[in-house]
Amino acid sequence: MHSKPRVVLLMFTIALLIHVNVSTVLNRARRLIDGEDMVDGLPTVGVLAYKNERTQARPYFILCTLVLLDKDWVLTSAHCLDESATPLREGETLYIVLGLTDNSWAYSPSDVQERGVFEQSQHPEYCARFLLHHDITLMKVSIPFTLNDRVQPIELPPDDIEDSETGTKCNIVGWGIENFPITEESFPRYIKQGRMSLGSCENQFGNLLGDDHLCAVGTSVTPCSGDSGAPVFCDIGGKSYFIGIDSFGQFENCEDNPLQVLTRISYFLDFIEDTMEEETDD
């Protein structure tokens, strides 16, 4: 999966601002290279996107992947909403989109639900000064989503889940761009999935990572632009659990970037639940 030149440039600029060696440490622009098309989509997974004009190859210019928590809330990576990363041009509107299965002009608008961002609740300890820490944000939508067979909330993992065992088999699902050089045709028509397994980042990052992170190695794919926030599902005890979202990788070049760092969902269960409950109470 892949994105437009201005997004790659913006991501590079952000990395410079946070004093990161982009060529060897972070790659915030990500795609699922060689991922498999999911023609029927996944009802729990959506996108943070600009609405494109009819003259462009795809209806949506996708910034990041996200998941639906309930009819009012979605979850994605906090860096997707850095103001320097997603500056809006005059007349542009950022949408949260669910129910999208075909990002082409053959898509059915009646199946797609677009919502504005009513409120953003970024983790208070989110940090992008070096590596990304606490890279998670919740967004409340302007109008509740209508739940149906195309739009369904994701199931959060239990707080005692054993989600860090090396070698655990996983799948990542995302809307990132597909190929270089980047053109409008780099955007995928369908959401893609690929295989990963949990691993160790100690050789690459030493003690720079925390309990809020998990490491994964792509066995059939490499995430790239648009895949930040993409959910990772792992087979634990014979059941598939949502254990993380894509955060960052090791290198700038997606194709050389099999090692991925994930935001660990079980670490943030209290934050997720407290945020949703506080807003409901208000």
Q: Provide mean pLDDT across the span 71-83.
A: 92
Is the four-CA dihedral 266, 163, 244, 200 of positive or negative sign?
Answer: positive
Q: Provide mean pLDDT across the span 213-217.
A: 91
Q: What percent of the chain has pLDDT over 70?
A: 70
pLDDT digits (tens, 9 = 90+) for 181-195: 556 666 677 788 888
| C-alpha triplet 274, 275, 277: angle, nearest 5° | 65
Number of structural domains found in the chain: 1
Write down the pTM of the prediction: 0.81
- State the DSSP H helix or E strand holding residue 118, giving kind and residue range, or none if neither: strand 117-122
**Average pLDDT score over the chain:** 78
Q: Does position 29 have pLDDT exceeding 70, yes or no?
A: no
Domain limits at 242?
Answer: 5-281
pLDDT digits (tens, 9 = 90+) for 110-158: 889 999 999 999 999 999 877 899 999 999 999 999 999 999 999 999 9
CATH number at residue 234: 2.40.10.10
β-pair partners for 248: 261
Highest mean pLDDT (candidates 54-68, 200-214, 228-242) = 228-242
**Burial group, residue 279, by CB count within 10 angstroms (0-12, 13-18, 19+):** middle
